[in-house]
Amino acid sequence: MNFPQAKPYIRESRIDEIVDPSIKGGYHAEAMWRVVEVALVCTEPFSAYRPCMADIVRELEDALIIENNASEYMKSIDSLGGYSLGGSNRFSIPTDKKALSPPAPTPPDPSPIKPQALASLEPR
């Protein structure tokens, strides 16, 4: 598939359908979106709108950092809890771009154990 054929898939946030089948499911969605965005600006018809090579390299390096950090994060989760993620160490691709945003942090639940109760415990 060439890039003009891929544009409708990109517009509809369906990049998982245009990724090389040999790496499908083996990458972090945010990293792939960075690569896609670089490709989009590099194919602008007017050269004034295209980025310089230094900017392209920086963006691709950022995508690689995201990919590597996501992979390390997933490995740490696997080693801590033994959770199964379908055999992959990476995230699956969401179907809409909104899902690419990191979730908002949630405040921790207050502990049901009162500090006073801990102070009264004696060692066994």
Question: What total of structural domains would you count in the chain?
Answer: 1
Using alpha carbons only, how large is the chain's radius of gyration in Å? Answer: 21
- Do the domain assignments include residue 120? no
Q: What is the pLDDT of residue 79?
A: 61
Q: What is the pLDDT of residue 47?
A: 92
Give which of 28, 50, 37, 23 is closest to 94, Cα–Cα.
28
- 72 φ/ψ sector (left φ>0, alpha ψ -120 to 50, else beta): alpha
- Do the domain assignments include residue 122? no
CB atoms within 10 A of CB 38: 19
Q: What is the pLDDT of residue 91?
A: 28
Q: What is the pLDDT of residue 113?
A: 46
Q: What is the pLDDT of residue 42?
A: 92
**Model-level pTM?**
0.55
Alpha carbons 78 and 46: distance in angstroms, whole number? 46
Q: What is the pLDDT of residue 25?
A: 79
- Do the domain assignments include residue 123? no
| pLDDT mean by block of 10 residues, the chain; 124 residues | 83 89 86 91 92 95 90 62 39 37 47 45 46
Q: Which domain holds residue 9?
A: 3-101
